[in-house]
């Protein structure tokens, strides 16, 4: 299949909207992100790219094209809970593998932690990474932690058809240097498939900017913002190395490359990120949680040097990738992703998405339509309490991007309720057709059509 494009999805952990130079950060954050900034001039830069509020939901939504509330992956699962994605779900790994692609998941998975739920159970030929989160690397620094008594975190690796096995112990130092190993394995995968001329899908999950945010020695002290700025430089350098590898292998013109965050900025004090122009943190319904950088490049196919504030949701990549590679979107389940291929190509100015519903865990936090938000739960930062509102308010993000004046607006914008109501009704109708998969559902769980679970979206 020499005409099929390769796809590399470079997923960045907890990347705030205001970190990169091309999004208003860069040298203002003590680190000139020149490789990523240059990449933005070569591709399509999205200013209104919406992940879900947490890591697990975002990754589930990307891989299935479905809001994570549908797949039961709407919140970060507890380690050792034997939870996560069910066999019935179809991921990008499944679809591309069935189409003859070589597939690799490099780095964090976080949507399943037992047999039947690993990447290699969902279409990926290879996987190496932590099953959960990098904060487990901090266990050994906790004076109350006892490895003889408490769980021990490991990196895992596996191949399709084989048992997933333990690799190295996940330590603070391993996390600091893990992206070297990711590059080694990921580049080998690219080399092998370039040589065999087999199209590939590389789901590349970088470890930054997830806590602990600590740079490798080669970047230590290179920025003017301590470990955080040094780590931004490392992220920029590693992505630049990936671009150089694509070039060296002669794959540039036939490879779709997406650089994207998985959710908004970190809030924990020693590793705190920034949303720049916007406000808040991940695990909320603020714009900091609903926007993260995303840039896409495919020479001659995705418009170069373009910037847009049109809404693009993380689920849209599922449908868009399938369209771009000539594959069909599954029609036996609800798919939330919109086909954005014409928008990205420059054939149309407008996105195919007007808005979306957003959740934090199982709780619906609000609805976004164009530049307006219907706020149902108020919470600015991860560390703040979540306050359900008996009288929801409407925010106009053009006049109030920091979302500071919910109860004293110049205009009430109450006419927007017709649009919010339409999006809510469409979702309710979809749940009536296909009920939500509950969190912790058994591996063989299959949604039973026609049995709505309206209580799950309240």
- For every residue of 421-457, DSSP letters joined together read HHHHHHHHHHHHHSPPPPTT--TT----TT---GGGG
CATH number for the domain spanning 450: value is 3.30.1120
Under 8 Å between Cβ of 292 and 18:
no
| Whether residue 212 has pLDDT greater than 90 | yes
Judgement on whether residues 381 and 233 belong to the same structural domain of the protein: no
Which of 310, 345, 380 is where one domain is finished?
Answer: 345
How many other CB atoms are there within 10 angstroms of residue 355's CB atom?
Answer: 21
Note whether residue 1 is domain-resident.
no
Judgement on whether residues 160 and 33 belong to the same structural domain of the protein: yes
Measured CA to CA in angstroms, residue 253 lies from 1, 7, 64, 128, 339 at distances of 15, 11, 27, 27, 22
Mean pLDDT, residues 276-298 taken together:
98
Judgement on whether residues 363 and 297 belong to the same structural domain of the protein: no
Q: How does pLDDT run across 364-404, given as a tens digit for each residue?
A: 999 999 999 999 999 999 999 999 999 999 999 999 999 99
pLDDT of residue 79: 61
pLDDT of residue 202: 99
| Whether residue 457 has pLDDT greater than 80 | no
Note whether residue 285 is domain-resident.
yes
pLDDT of residue 411: 87
Which of 324, 345, 366 is where one domain is finished?
Answer: 345
pLDDT of residue 80: 63
Note whether residue 350 is domain-resident.
no
pLDDT-derived band of residue 454, with 50, 70 and 90 as boundaries?
A: very low
Q: How does pLDDT run across 105-123, given as a tens digit for each residue?
A: 999 999 999 999 999 999 9
Note whether residue 302 is domain-resident.
yes
* Total structural domains within the chain: 2
pLDDT-derived band of residue 82, with 50, 70 and 90 as boundaries?
A: confident
Q: Return the H-helix or E-strand segment holding 157.
A: strand 154-159
Which of 297, 325, 345 is where one domain is finished?
Answer: 345
Q: How does pLDDT run across 138-177, given as a tens digit for each residue?
A: 999 999 999 999 999 999 999 999 999 999 999 999 999 9
Judgement on whether residues 139 and 59 belong to the same structural domain of the protein: yes
Q: Return the H-helix or E-strand segment holding 245.
A: helix 226-248
Note whether residue 12 is domain-resident.
yes
Judgement on whether residues 255 and 328 belong to the same structural domain of the protein: yes
Greater confidence (215 vs 271) lies with 215
pLDDT of residue 89: 98
| Whether residue 451 has pLDDT greater than 80 | no
Under 8 Å between Cβ of 116 and 443:
yes
Note whether residue 202 is domain-resident.
yes
Q: Which residues form the domain of 387?
A: 355-457
CATH number for the domain spanning 117: value is 3.40.720.10
Judgement on whether residues 174 and 49 belong to the same structural domain of the protein: yes
Q: How does pLDDT run across 312-359, given as a tens digit for each residue?
A: 999 999 999 999 999 999 999 999 999 999 999 999 999 999 999 999
């Amino acid at each position: 299949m020499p005409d099929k494009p390769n796809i590399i999805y470079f997923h960045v952990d907890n990347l705030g909207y205001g970190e990169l130079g091309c999004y208003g950060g860069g040298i203002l954050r003590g680190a000139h992100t020149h490789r990523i900034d240059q990449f933005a001039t070569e591709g399509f830069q999205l200013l209104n790219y919406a992940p879900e509020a947490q890591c697990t939901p975002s990754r589930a939504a990307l891989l299935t094209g479905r809001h994570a509330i549908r797949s039961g992956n709407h919140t970060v699962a507890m380690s050792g809970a034997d939870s996560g994605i069910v066999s019935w779900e179809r991921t990008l790994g499944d679809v591309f593998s069935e189409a003859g692609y070589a597939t690799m998941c490099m780095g964090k998975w976080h949507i399943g932690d037992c047999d039947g739920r690993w990447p290699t159970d969902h279409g990926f030929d290879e996987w190496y990474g932590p099953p959960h989160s990098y904060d487990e690397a901090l266990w050994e620094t906790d004076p109350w932690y006892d490895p003889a008594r408490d769980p021990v975190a490991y990196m895992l690796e596996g191949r399709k058809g084989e048992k997933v096995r333990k690799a190295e112990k996940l330590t603070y130092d391993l996390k600091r240097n893990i992206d070297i190993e990711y590059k080694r394995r990921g580049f080998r995968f690219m080399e092998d498939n370039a040589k065999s001329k087999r199209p590939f899908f590389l789901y590349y999950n970088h470890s930054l900017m997830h806590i602990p945010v600590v740079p490798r020695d080669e970047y230590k002290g290179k920025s003017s913002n301590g470990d955080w700025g040094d780590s931004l430089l490392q992220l920029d350098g590693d992505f630049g190395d990936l671009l150089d590898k694509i070039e060296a292998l002669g794959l540039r013109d036939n490879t779709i490359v997406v650089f994207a965050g998985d959710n908004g900025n970190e809030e924990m004090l020693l590793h705190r990120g920034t949303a720049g122009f916007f406000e808040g943190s991940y695990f909320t319904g603020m714009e900091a949680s609903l926007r993260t950088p995303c840039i896409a490049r495919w020479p001659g196919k995705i418009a170069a040097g373009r910037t847009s504030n049109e809404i693009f949701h993380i689920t849209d990549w599922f449908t868009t990738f399938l369209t771009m590679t000539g594959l069909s979107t599954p029609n036996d389940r609800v798919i939330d992703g919109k086909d954005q291929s014409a928008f990205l190509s420059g054939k149309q100015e407008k996105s195919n998405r007007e808005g979306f519903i957003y959740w934090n865990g199982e709780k619906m936090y609000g609805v976004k339509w164009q530049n307006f938000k219907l706020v149902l739960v108020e919470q600015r930062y991860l560390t703040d309490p979540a306050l359900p509102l008996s009288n929801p308010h409407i925010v106009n993000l053009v006049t109030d991007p920091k979302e500071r004046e919910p109860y004293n607006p110049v205009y009430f914008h109450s006419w927007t309720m017709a649009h919010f109501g339409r999006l809510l009704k469409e979702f309710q109708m979809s749940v009536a057709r296909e009920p939500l998969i509950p969190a912790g559902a058994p591996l063989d769980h299959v949604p039973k059509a026609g049995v709505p679970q309206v209580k799950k979206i309240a």
